[in-house]
């Protein structure tokens, strides 16, 4: 067989110049992993860098300027939700909600961040039901005792009961599929029941969605501000972070972390779980619940709260692209005395003294933001966040009258700030796997 010879025409100097021009903005990075592998990223310059960041983070401000009738008492809230890996499989599992509730006595502000894991079904459901349920409870309490606000402990109790009820409803909706001992469930019947999708995700009676919502999980960080802006409540389940940034004339901006973090990085949380399961050395290992889940409290995650036969049943029969049955089944033998995971929220109240003329911004963030400050003590991290949102707030509106989005300013600072190379790398690196966690930030101006 003869050999084919291909003749290539040498590139002209103009073609060579054009080729060099096309690659001059590209570079290689090890993403600080220290290995041999390198990935390509594109170096961006302003204004393209900021424009690219805004396209991905989708900054929003509430109340929307398109709303023809924003309430005079509505607080200004900025938000971003950021995941630079744009593949469908790695799309963000974070959710946030910002709402104004006209209630007896005035308008309340509700903000929340939810960080899902395992699937999107649980976090979609939780983020949709927490607000309406809490609003109904609060409305009933205010009608029973008319006032711009409820006693702080009463609102705290409402927050606690609401979140615990959402979790209980998730679990009971699933367990009601198997009223008898799941150990004796007929395999073919169980398979059919768990894979019945009914009319789609909105069909709450279908077995597939009940199982998906219960076996997926979500953290919850919820904040309420009363109509007088004299009281702030924060309820937390999981490892999202709330920071209160405050400014006075003497010290500038300072930040305070308002909540305890419920994950394996908190020794007290690990000790609590071990004390509840003293004869089970594998109840926590590798700083994770049963060696699997980083948050030590969450809504859903039914398999960590129910007897092992339920987990065996679902892992063995549920067909879902988010469920790696073989990988999950290895954890089932460790389930001996559930629950291992708590859904008990910590609730915090903060009285806001307006007499001191202190400027305040409440920051709610998923753990993707705190991950970007890995190695920082929490106090140092809070100061960094306060400096970022405070600096943006102090800058005032742009010459065109546009006010800075405080959540976007904090995100920009976290991924590199003025370091265009570092920000470009985060935004454009060409990797098939996700290189950073979902990061959602809500910034509420309280003054």
> Is 56 buried (19+), middle (13-18) or exposed (0-12) by CB count in 10 A?
middle
Supply the pLDDT for residue 352: 92
pLDDT in tens, 180-205: 889 989 999 999 999 999 999 888 89
Supply the pLDDT for residue 293: 97
Rg of the chain taking only CA atoms, in angstroms: 25
Range of the domain at 175: 64-242+257-379+438-445
pLDDT in tens, 113-163: 999 999 999 999 999 999 999 999 999 999 998 777 789 999 999 999 999
CA distances from residue 60 to 141, 347, 381 in whole angstroms, order as listed: 32, 27, 24
In the predicted structure, residue 250 carries a pLDDT above the cut 90 = no
Query: Residue 64 — very low, low, confident or very high, per pLDDT cuts 50/70/90?
Result: low
pLDDT in tens, 140-150: 999 998 777 78
The count of C-alpha atoms lying within 13 angstroms of the C-alpha of 428, restricted to the half-sphere facing its C-beta, is: 21
Query: Which range, of 43-52, 66-75, 166-175, averages the lowest pLDDT?
Result: 66-75
375: left (phi over 0), alpha (psi -120 to 50) or beta: left
Alpha-carbon distance of 270 to 272, in angstroms, equals 5
Query: Residue 1 — very low, low, confident or very high, per pLDDT cuts 50/70/90?
Result: low
Alpha-carbon distance of 325 to 391, in angstroms, equals 48
**DSSP H stretches of helix in 330-377:** 367-371
| Mean pLDDT calculated for residue range 298-326 | 96
**Residue 97 covered by a domain:** yes
**Residue 150 covered by a domain:** yes
Supply the pLDDT for residue 276: 98
DSSP secondary structure code for residue 404 in this structure: P
**Residue 362 covered by a domain:** yes
**Residue 290 covered by a domain:** yes
For the whole model, what pTM was predicted? 0.93
Query: Residue 366 — very low, low, confident or very high, per pLDDT cuts 50/70/90?
Result: very high
Supply the pLDDT for residue 204: 86
- Percent of the chain's residues with pLDDT above 90: 80
**Residue 217 covered by a domain:** yes
**Residue 280 covered by a domain:** yes
In the predicted structure, residue 15 carries a pLDDT above the cut 70 = no
pLDDT in tens, 226-242: 999 999 999 999 999 99
Please say whether the beta carbons of 227 and 100 come within 8 A.
no
pLDDT in tens, 394-435: 998 877 778 999 999 999 999 999 999 999 999 999 998 999
Q: At what angle do helices 207-215 and 121-144 cross, to 10 degrees?
A: 80
Q: Look-up: residue for tokens 């971003």?
A: 80
DSSP secondary structure code for residue 171 in this structure: H
CA distances from residue 162 to 4, 34, 139, 214 in whole angstroms, order as listed: 75, 46, 13, 17
Please say whether the beta carbons of 107 and 101 come within 8 A.
yes
- Percent of the chain's residues with pLDDT above 70: 93
Query: Residue 70 — very low, low, confident or very high, per pLDDT cuts 50/70/90?
Result: very low
pLDDT in tens, 25-38: 899 999 999 989 99
**Residue 411 covered by a domain:** no
Structural domain count of the chain: 1
pLDDT in tens, 332-352: 999 999 999 999 999 999 999
State the CATH number of the domain containing residue 298: 3.60.40.10
Query: Residue 22 — very low, low, confident or very high, per pLDDT cuts 50/70/90?
Result: low
Helix (H) or strand (E) holding 439: strand 439-445
**Residue 30 covered by a domain:** no
Average pLDDT, the chain: 92
3-state secondary structure of 231: strand
């Amino acid at each position: 067989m003869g050999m084919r010879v291909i003749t290539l025409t040498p590139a002209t100097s103009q073609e060579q110049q054009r080729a060099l021009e096309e690659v001059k903005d590209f570079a290689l990075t090890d993403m600080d992993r220290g290995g041999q592998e390198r990935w390509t990223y594109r170096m961006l310059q302003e204004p393209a860098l900021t424009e690219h960041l805004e396209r991905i983070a989708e900054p929003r401000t509430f109340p929307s300027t398109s709303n023809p009738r924003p309430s005079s008492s509505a607080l200004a809230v900025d938000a971003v939700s950021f995941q630079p890996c744009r593949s469908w499989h790695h799309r963000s599992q974070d959710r946030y909600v910002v709402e104004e509730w006209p209630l007896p006595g005035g308008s309340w502000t509700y903000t929340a961040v939810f960080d899902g894991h395992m699937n999107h079904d649980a976090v979609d459901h939780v983020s949709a039901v927490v607000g309406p349920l809490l609003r109904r409870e609060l409305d009933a309490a205010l009608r029973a005792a008319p006032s711009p606000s409820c006693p702080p402990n009463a609102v705290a109790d409402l927050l606690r009961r609401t979140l615990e009820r959402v979790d209980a409803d998730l679990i009971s909706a699933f367990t009601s599929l198997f009223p008898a001992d799941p150990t004796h469930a007929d395999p073919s019947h169980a398979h059919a029941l768990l894979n019945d999708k009914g009319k789609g995700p909105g069909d709450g009676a279908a077995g597939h969605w009940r199982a998906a919502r219960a076996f997926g999980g979500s953290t919850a960080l919820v904040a309420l501000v009363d109509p007088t802006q004299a009281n702030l409540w924060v309820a937390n389940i999981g490892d999202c972070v709330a920071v209160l940034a405050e400014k006075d004339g003497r010290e500038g901006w300072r930040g305070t972390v308002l909540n305890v973090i419920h994950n394996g990085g908190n020794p007290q949380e690990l000790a609590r779980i071990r004390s509840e399961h003293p004869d089970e050395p594998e109840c926590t290992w590798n700083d994770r619940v049963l060696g699997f889940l980083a948050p030590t409290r969450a809504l859903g995650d039914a398999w960590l709260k129910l007897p092992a036969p339920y987990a065996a049943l679902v892992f063995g029969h549920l067909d879902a692209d988010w469920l790696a049955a073989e990988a999950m089944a290895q954890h089932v033998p460790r389930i001996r005395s559930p629950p291992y995971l708590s859904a008990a929220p910590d609730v915090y109240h903060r009285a806001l003294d307006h007499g001191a003329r202190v400027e305040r911004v409440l920051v709610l963030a998923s753990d993707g933001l705190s991950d970007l400050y890995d190695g920082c003590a929490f106090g140092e991290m809070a100061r960094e966040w306060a400096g970022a949102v405070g600096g943006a707030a102090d800058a005032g509106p742009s010459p065109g009258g546009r006010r800075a989005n405080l959540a976007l300013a904090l995100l920009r600072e976290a991924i590199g700030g003025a370091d265009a190379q570092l920000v470009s790398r985060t935004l454009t690196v060409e990797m098939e796997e996700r290189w950073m966690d979902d990061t959602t930030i809500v910034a509420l101006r309280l003054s």
